[in-house]
């Protein structure tokens, strides 16, 4: 591992205000419990409602705190995305295009809340995404699949989860959640032109700014030709 490589870290919007929401929920819960001692008969329904709101607020804050401190690690060697359910990693030379996802419908241009990454080959992801992450992304990207189905960008068969083995170009057969994700990514690529989709909640700035940052990082890789791809093995 080359520790001298520069590294840019990105914090997800989804992690924002986690501690605040957890503390607020606990405070509401304590307040509701205290009030229930004196006013349970007079305000039973109101206190039950406050209890439920407090529990939901606590749960939301806890889920936010469970997210990794940083969602992206960017170096001249690779781009790594971390999620509480796993990770994926891409070498820059495996990427072709990085842009906000836009779709033209008639005379209107619709911008979806995702950043798209088009790869030279989806095969590069087979060994660089964890099974839990692959399974999670299939479900998280369900809104994209529904969008494509509503707008006739894919057939119902393409939009159905497919967990059949996926055969790589070298003949290797991939099974399980990773195979399902590879089939899913191929279907979205045919519909929208990208293999990977980064939601706007996973970054700390707007999609256009993050797209420019990644494009600049990819262009700068030529200055680090000796950077070793295993830099992210510790992530």
**Is it the case that residue 229 has pLDDT exceeding 60?**
no
The pLDDT value given to residue 79: 92
For residue 47, what are the CA distances in angstroms to 6, 26, 54, 155?
A: 53, 14, 10, 49
- The angle, 0 to 180 degrees and rounded to 10, between the axes of the packed helices 142-150 and 177-192 is 40
**Is it the case that residue 149 has pLDDT exceeding 60?**
yes
- pTM for the complete prediction? 0.76
**Is it the case that residue 130 has pLDDT exceeding 60?**
yes
The pLDDT value given to residue 5: 66
Give the phi and the psi of residue 53 in degrees, each rounded to 5: -60, -45
Task: Considering only CA atoms, give the Rg of the chain.
Answer: 22
Confidence bin at 146 (pLDDT 50/70/90)? very high
pLDDT digits (tens, 9 = 90+) for 49-83: 888 988 898 888 888 787 778 889 998 888 999 98
Give the phi and the psi of residue 12 in degrees, each rounded to 5: -75, 145
For 210, the token pair is 């993050």
Confidence bin at 85 (pLDDT 50/70/90)? confident
The pLDDT value given to residue 184: 94
Asked if 14 and 63 count as a contact pair (C-beta separation under 8 A), the reply is: no
Bridging pattern class, strands 166-167 and 108-119: unpaired
pLDDT digits (tens, 9 = 90+) for 178-190: 999 999 999 999 9
Confidence bin at 225 (pLDDT 50/70/90)? low
Confidence bin at 11 (pLDDT 50/70/90)? confident
């Amino acid at each position: 591992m080359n520790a001298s490589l520069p590294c840019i870290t990105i914090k997800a919007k989804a992690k924002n205000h986690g501690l605040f929401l957890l503390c607020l929920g606990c405070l509401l819960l304590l307040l509701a419990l205290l009030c229930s001692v004196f006013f349970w008969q007079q305000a039973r329904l109101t206190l039950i409602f406050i209890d439920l709101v407090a529990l939901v607020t606590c749960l939301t804050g806890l889920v936010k705190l469970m997210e990794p401190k940083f969602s992206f690690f960017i170096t001249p060697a690779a781009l790594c995305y971390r999620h509480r359910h796993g990770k994926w990693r891409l070498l820059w030379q495996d990427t072709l295009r990085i842009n906000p996802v836009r779709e033209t419908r008639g005379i209107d241009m619709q911008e979806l809340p995702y950043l798209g990454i088009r790869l030279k080959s989806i095969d590069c992801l087979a060994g660089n995404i964890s099974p839990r992450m692959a399974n999670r992304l299939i479900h998280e990207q369900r809104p994209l699949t529904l969008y494509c189905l509503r707008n006739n960008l894919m057939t119902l068969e393409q939009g159905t989860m497919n967990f059949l083995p996926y055969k790589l170009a070298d003949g290797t057969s991939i099974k399980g959640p990773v195979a399902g994700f590879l089939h899913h990514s191929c279907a979205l690529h045919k519909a929208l032109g990208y293999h990977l989709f980064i939601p706007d909640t996973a970054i700390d700035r707007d999609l256009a700014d993050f797209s420019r940052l990644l494009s600049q990082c990819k262009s700068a890789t030529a200055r680090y030709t000796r950077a070793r791809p295993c830099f992210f093995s510790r992530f």
